[in-house]
Amino acid sequence: MTKLSTISGNTPPPFAFGAMQFGGKADEAQSRAMYDACRGAGIGFFDTAHAYTEGASETLLGKFAAAERNDLIIATKASYSGGASRSNILASFDESRKRLGMDVVDLLYMHRWDDGTPLEETFETLAELQSKGAIRYIGVSNYAAWQVMKAQAVAAGFGTRIDVIQPMYNLVKRQAEVEILPMCASEDILPVPYSPLGGGLLTGKYAAGEAGRLTENDMYSKRYGVPAMHQTARDLAALAADLGTDPATLAVAWVARHPAGPVPILSASSAPQLAPSLAGMGYALDDALYARISALSPTPPPATDRLEEA
């Protein structure tokens, strides 16, 4: 994992940026400002997807990255809606490359698990793209640990492997701690988690009565509609105030502090909104503060649910 291993080996842990809002809530000028802020902070790993903002995300990212392409890691994802068939992977990836203006993409994710397509078809196609030099690494997003390992066995039959997984992980969504992050540590798979701020919940803005995705988007309101999650967000905001920092700074630093060495994907819709997350890149959490933040939400039970052995 030549370029990706250099990312996962740095201290403090490096971060990535997710361009999901490019061309959506963030217009071109706002998107460029966030890109420049990331580069100024030392981020060289940028994430997008075929599905984001009807292609505008890939187009803008490609435009911004063109002048320094060789210094960056660019990741995108196959079409979310079309499944994991050979035809869908090839068609959507071809469109993604055109939008990005790149012949080669460093990392291509399968955006989600597809029960309807044989894994052999999916990973033979990805192995072919890799052998032709069109992609450097293979990733999966939103897979369960068992799905990753099942796919990994199939990938091995084609002489390749899954190098990266993109799971959801934040202080109020900790399921990844049960099997995904331990799997990554055991199997040399780089975890690149998304939503370290919990859709904005962990910024403290909802406790302050502000609006956002959790109030405007049904999917996010359901995902983060649990009262205990909102209590955790209030508690995090109070702790941040005691420490003289921003809750977003603590939230992203906490994700990065996990022993599996995750590379959190930061995101925002403007440079000022992004600034507290970028501050998390240099915020040192000692063991005591990490434990204090962790205690603000329940630790999920182990996979075997033998609590007496936890």
Angle (CA) 66-190-309 rounded to 5° is 160
Sheet containing strand 16-18, strands side by side = 190-191, 164-166, 135-141, 105-110, 73-77, 45-47, 16-18, 265-266
Q: What SS3 class is residue 150?
A: helix
| Positive/negative CA dihedral, 207, 212, 218, 224 | negative
Q: How many Å apart are CA 258 and CA 164, to the nearest integer?
A: 16
Six-digit token pair at 175? Answer: 């399921």
Q: Which amino acid is it at 272?
A: P
Active site residue 52: yes
Among candidate residues 52, 109, 137, 220, the one labeled active-site is 52
- The pair phi, psi for residue 133, each rounded to 5°, is 85, 10
Q: What SS3 class is residue 209?
A: coil
Q: How many Å apart are CA 219 and CA 225, to the nearest integer?
A: 10
How is 60-119 classified by DSSP, letter by letter?
A: HHHHHHGGGGGG-EEEEE--STT-S-HHHHHHHHHHHHHHHT-S-EEEEEE-S--TTS-H
Six-digit token pair at 114? Answer: 């597809």
Cis peptide leading into 301, omega within 30 of 0?
no
Which residues are identified as catalytic? 52
